[in-house]
Amino acid sequence: MPVVFMAITLLTLCACVPAQIGTPVRNSTPVSNDIVFSDGWERIHSLGKIVVGVSADRPPFAHFNANFLIEGFEIAIMREISQQIGVQAEFHDYTQQGLEQALQSGQIDAAILKASDVSCCANPLRLSHVVYEGSDAVLTLSSSTIISVKSPADIAQKRVGVLRDGSYWSWVSTMVPPERITLLDRNEDAVTELLANNIDIAIVDLTSAEILAANGDVRIAGTALYPLRLVVGAGRSSRNLVEKVNAAMENLIQVGRIEQLAELYLRINKDNILPVPPQDPRAEAAIDATPVSVATTPANGTGFEVCNNGMSLVENLSLDDQNMTNIPAVQPGQPLTKTWRLRNSGNCPWYLSYRLVYAYGNVPEARMSGRAVDIIKEVKQGDTADIHLNLIAPTHPGIYRGVWQLIDGRRKPFGERIVVIVYVPAP
């Protein structure tokens, strides 16, 4: 895959790997404090800590490992940047859709975002230089009747080969059933599986596809189905922070550290990384010229288009694992009630159509028989609500970690993810 680490214009828009790979996620640490700072960097520097939002269900970019530590390419990048600017990184797990709102409201200081997903134009964000850019390719047999693949819909009914834990695995898994996905250990295995008629197509990075297609057995049937351009986002008031991030990125590029991380986590050969183009200096003057428009709060539950939903965890009121330092022990099959105190950190109320739903867990049993919980009364901006979730402890010994999230009336996830984790001891 051609990978570009480029220094592009700063845009105002709306809306060393550690010895032990991975870092714990802290469930609740507010970013704000009583001191007023003119720039987000001043506060970060004062506290010696940068709070980073991630969506930790997207391997190899960010995910929890078997030891419940968060790891991945984005985590490694932000840890490297934080070391460069002299602060510690603290990670919080959010829905992918909730990262922008968390940046706008100051719940987090920074997040790695897909540039094409950043909304426009209310409450603009500041974006760093591009951290990572690449292109995919679809391989088929040269004799295949699959002539052209032009959209993601074209692969939904196909048998697909994709690199195990590679850049495209999580994307493919959202469209193709598991029984039609073949995980590849190496890009070269794509040709083997195609020739054996075990798969219809394979999705790999473009550079690898061009090399594999050179022997004539396979050909490229499509490209750029999943363009990926990652940037570090921060709040509008964080100009100095973004400048620090850009300087750190330039240093990491110069010493080849970004190449090493791309090779380690994304399995992209460093020889495929393109040179950094020069930055356009003209855009600096335009950054602060963009006016800030403020979205209005809808008067009822029908105004979803102007809602900027948000949720942050205030406190664990029961089954508190104390940031995984004291995981509650429960008996097999024991009825449990997990209670969280949550704050509406968005700009519109939570309506009665909003629900708490299960997101994912370390094992299937981590759901612990929990069912979706309806919001039973309207929760206004800034108010808190206590949410009770009835569970049944698993019957087999082990540690079970279930992750839950809020959805709005259109079933769109938002806000910080919340966790219930318990330990069932052996008899």
Q: What is the pTM of this model?
A: 0.77
**Better-predicted residue by pLDDT, 352 or 121:** 352
- Cα–Cα distance between 279 and 244 in angstroms, integer? 15
**Amino acid, single-letter form, for residue 52:** V
Confidence class for position 230, pLDDT limits 50, 70, 90: confident
> In sequence order, which residues have a C-beta less than 8 Å from that of residue 42 and are 6 or more positions away?
240
pLDDT at residue 170 above 90? no
pLDDT at residue 32 above 60? no
- Domain assignments of the chain as residue spans, ordered by start: 3-132+230-289, 136-223, 304-424
Contact 282, 288 (CB under 8 A): no
pLDDT of residue 200: 98
- 3-132+230-289: which CATH number, 3.40.190.10, 3.10.310.30, 3.40.50.880, 2.60.40.4070? 3.40.190.10
**Better-predicted residue by pLDDT, 125 or 26:** 125
Sign of CA dihedral 296, 301, 305, 311: positive
Contact 228, 114 (CB under 8 A): yes
Under CATH, what is the fold of the domain 136-223? D-Maltodextrin-Binding Protein; domain 2 (3.40.190)
Per-residue pLDDT reduced to its tens digit, 372-411: 999 999 999 999 999 999 999 999 999 999 999 999 998 8
CA–CA distance from 144 to each of 147, 177, 180 (Å)?
7, 22, 18
CA–CA distance from 42 to each of 38, 111, 242, 265 (Å)?
7, 18, 12, 32
- Cα–Cα distance between 5 and 8 in angstroms, integer? 9
Q: Strands 181-184, 160-163: parallel, antiparallel or unpaired by DSSP?
A: parallel
Smallest CA-to-CA distance from 260 within 399, 423, 114, 73 is with: 73
* CATH fold match for the domains 3-132+230-289 and 136-223: yes
Contact 292, 301 (CB under 8 A): no
Average pLDDT over residues 327-352: 96
pLDDT at residue 247 above 80? yes
- 304-424: which CATH number, 2.60.40.10, 3.40.50.300, 3.40.50.10860, 3.50.50.60? 2.60.40.10
